[in-house]
């Protein structure tokens, strides 16, 4: 948990200062990809709390989900159907689920000690 | 083992935060709706500006060539006065302060002197100021370099005004027949008055006004005899 928060903080600071920019046209794809990444991170944190953490699954999920979500958004744009909703619903609901499980883990641990 | 997981999580979270940071920076306010129309108008604007730049560059090149010419003259120990005098002559020619001659046409325009039948409008038989004005305009379109009407040089400031039975040009009263002389490509000038759908052709065919156009190899057009007085206009200095 703490490592994840530290990592995100470092990343945001570095990202804000790095001179990387891209066309605003790709903003939507990036947002969906970020949602997928967030889901993977929560999943990873939960797995590590459950002691079921698998490195390859975590990393492949992180990049694979992001690419798939961005691709889905792109295809939706081409077809004129907002397909990125699918990614938002899937990752959004999983995000909350994972967060709920993480909360339970933390509070149960506190109760036990 | 668990520490290893945490390191992985740290690395991946750093990557995630990096993407997040870039996106936050990117989305900062400058995300506005761009319509196709605004894009195309912007493109037009850019195109126009580029054209303008090209024109300015052309002008710059021209001026550079001119400057080089002057420099060469000075190097060759030639007198700059000669060059300036030549230029002055040229300017006088252009502005109409010199007699000029060359190939061209002269057009004789006369009132229709057929007898007026009952119901005819005598106004249609008279050559009006506007007729002369239109004819001169068509000659200008055809590339006339110098134009005169009854010996009055027509310049940019020459008025062509109705004065009852006469017309006034350069504050001189002129009456029919009007002899319009023009220097330029004779064939083009001839066509500008006689080709179908021109104003001259219409005057001839519809209103039966007598128009004769003749081509001549040598037409003499006198200079402008009045004087220019600029009371209000002042030159704009370059670079101000």
Establish if A28 touches chain B: CB-CB under 8 angstroms: no
Residue B86 domain flag = yes
Please give the pLDDT value at position B7. 81
Same domain, yes or no: B108 and B184: yes
Q: Cβ–Cβ of A7/B7 closer than 8 Å?
A: no
Please give the pLDDT value at position B61. 95
Please give the pLDDT value at position B32. 66
Residue A16 domain flag = no
Same domain, yes or no: B73 and B179: no
Residue B1 domain flag = no
Choose among B9, B12, B26: nearest Cβ to A21.
Answer: B26
Q: Is A22 helix (H, G, I), strand (E, B) or coil?
A: coil
The torsion angle over the Cα atoms of residues A47, A51, A56 and A60, rounded to 10 degrees, is 0
Instruction: List pLDDT tens digits, range A8-64.
Output: 888 888 888 887 777 777 778 888 888 888 888 888 888 888 888 888 888 898 899
Q: Which domain holds residue A45?
A: 25-112
Residue B209 domain flag = yes
More confident residue, A1 or B212: B212
Instruction: List pLDDT tens digits, range A95-112.
Output: 999 999 988 888 887 776
ipTM: 0.71
| Cα separation, A84 vs A68, whole angstroms | 10
Same domain, yes or no: B145 and B201: yes
Same domain, yes or no: B172 and B216: yes
Q: E strands along chain B, which residues?
A: 100-110, 146-149, 152-153, 160-163, 166-169, 172-174, 178-183, 210-221
- At A80, is the pLDDT very low, low, confident or very high (cuts 50, 70, 90)? confident
Residue B182 CB neighbour total at 10 angstroms: 30
Looking at the DSSP bridge assignments, the partners of residue B163 are: B166
Same domain, yes or no: B89 and B141: no
Q: Which two tokens stand for residue B126?
A: 């008279």
CA B52, B58, B63, B68 dihedral sign is positive
Residues of B engaging A, defined by a Cβ cutoff of 8 Å? 2, 4-27, 30-31
Instruction: List pLDDT tens digits, range B69-120.
Output: 888 887 877 677 877 888 888 888 888 888 899 999 989 998 888 777 787 7
Q: Which domain holds residue B59?
A: 55-95
Please give the pLDDT value at position B2. 66
Same domain, yes or no: B104 and B187: yes
Residue B214 domain flag = yes
More confident residue, B181 or B122: B181
Please give the pLDDT value at position B51. 96
Establish if A67 touches chain B: CB-CB under 8 angstroms: no
Same domain, yes or no: B205 and B110: yes
Q: Which two tokens stand for residue B72?
A: 């060469």
Please give the pLDDT value at position B75. 80
Same domain, yes or no: B70 and B126: no
- What secondary structure letter does DSSP report for B123? G
From A21, A64, A79, A30, select the one nearest B25 (Cα to Cα).
A21
Please give the pLDDT value at position B52. 95
């Amino acid at each position: 948990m703490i490592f994840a928060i530290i990592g995100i903080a470092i990343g945001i600071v570095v990202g804000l200062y790095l001179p990387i920019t891209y066309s605003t046209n790709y903003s939507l794809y990036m947002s969906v990809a970020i949602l997928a990444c967030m889901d993977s991170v929560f999943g990873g944190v939960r797995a590590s709390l459950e002691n079921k953490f698998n490195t390859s699954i975590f990393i492949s999920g992180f990049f694979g989900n992001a690419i798939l979500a961005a691709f889905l958004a792109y295809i939706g744009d081409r077809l004129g159907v907002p397909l990125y909703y699918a990614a938002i619903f899937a990752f959004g609901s999983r995000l909350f689920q994972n967060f709920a499980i993480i909360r339970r883990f933390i509070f149960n641990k506190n109760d036990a000690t | 083992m668990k520490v290893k997981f945490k390191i992985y999580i740290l690395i991946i979270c750093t990557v995630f935060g990096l993407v997040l940071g870039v996106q936050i920076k990117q989305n900062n306010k400058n995300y506005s709706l761009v319509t196709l129309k605004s894009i195309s108008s912007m493109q037009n604007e850019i195109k126009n500006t580029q054209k303008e730049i090209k024109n300015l560059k052309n002008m710059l090149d021209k001026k550079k060539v001119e400057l080089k010419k002057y420099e060469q003259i000075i190097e060759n120990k030639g007198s700059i006065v000669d060059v300036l005098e030549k230029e002055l002559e040229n300017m006088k020619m252009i502005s109409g302060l010199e007699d000029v001659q060359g190939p061209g046409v002269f057009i004789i325009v006369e009132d229709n002197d057929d007898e007026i039948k009952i119901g005819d409008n005598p106004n249609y038989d008279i050559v009006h100021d506007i007729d002369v004005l239109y004819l001169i305009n068509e000659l200008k379109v055809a590339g006339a370099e110098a134009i005169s009407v009854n010996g009055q040089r027509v310049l940019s400031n020459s008025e062509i005004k109705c004065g009852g039975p006469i017309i006034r040009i350069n504050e001189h009263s002129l009456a029919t027949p009007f002899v319009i002389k023009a220097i330029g490509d004779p064939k083009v000038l001839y066509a500008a008055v006689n080709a179908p759908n021109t104003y001259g052709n219409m005057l001839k065919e519809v209103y039966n006004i007598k128009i004769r156009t003749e081509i001549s190899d040598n037409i003499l057009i006198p200079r402008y005899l009045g004087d220019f007085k600029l009371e209000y206009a002042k030159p704009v200095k370059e670079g101000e």
